[in-house]
Amino acid sequence: MLSAQLNDYLAEVGLTATEQQKQQLVDFVGMLNKWNKAFNLTSVRDPEQMLIRHIMDSLVVSPHLEGKRFIDVGTGPGLPGIPLAILNPDKEFVLLDSLGKRIRFQKQVQFELGINNISSIESRVEAYQPEELFDGVLSRAFASIQDMLHWCQHLPKADGCFYALKGQLSEEEMSQMPKGFVVTDTIELNVPKLEEQRHLLRVIKQD
């Protein structure tokens, strides 16, 4: 059931995946659904809705990623990092979250599904000091864009980029962009079967 829906959704947004990748994505939904009953990882309870609201909502960002090394801040159960890692085995994703139960879940996903290009780190974002900086800093359902840029400004390389996954864009939030940061792209994302607005903001730091 979920596999057939996933096939349809991927075709609708023009993304290709191998049979193994599709199986990993469906199995990830299964694990999220199972663990959610005990650990309350997401407010979405229905696996079909998880496929739309978590998997596809993450994957539509994939064509816009530039670079090899990414960090997903405030990743929760691994969103958008884990779906993006499954679809992009040539890229590396660090999943950062401050809650131990979410990190345990991510590590179990990594182990059971054999995902080799993710690493999970339990830390608050402002306290995390990476040994190597990132091509891209991802955030989904994070605080305001101002807070994201303030807390994450030490993470990207000099030519790195912030990727903020947002719902509806508020003019007020956009007008309060911190000094030294510039929005280079505002991309409208179409998620199959989702009526709500989705946007991706690409932001760079200027000297």
Binding residues for S-adenosyl-L-methionine: 74, 79, 125-126, 140
Residue 14 falls in which region: left (phi positive, over 0), alpha (psi -120 to 50) or beta = left
Give the residue from 13, 4, 1 showing the smallest Cα distance to 193.
13
Long-range contacts of 187-190 (CB under 8 A, 24+ apart): 187/64, 189/60, 189/61, 189/165, 190/13, 190/60
Residue for token digits 């030519």?
159
Q: What residue numbers does the annotated binding site cover? A: 74, 79, 125-126, 140
d(Cα 28, Cα 105) in Å, to the nearest integer?
Answer: 11
User: Which residues are CB-neighbours of 27 under 8 A, at least 6 positions away?
Assistant: 112, 113
Could you give the angle at which helices 19-39 and 100-113 cross, rounded to 10 degrees?
150
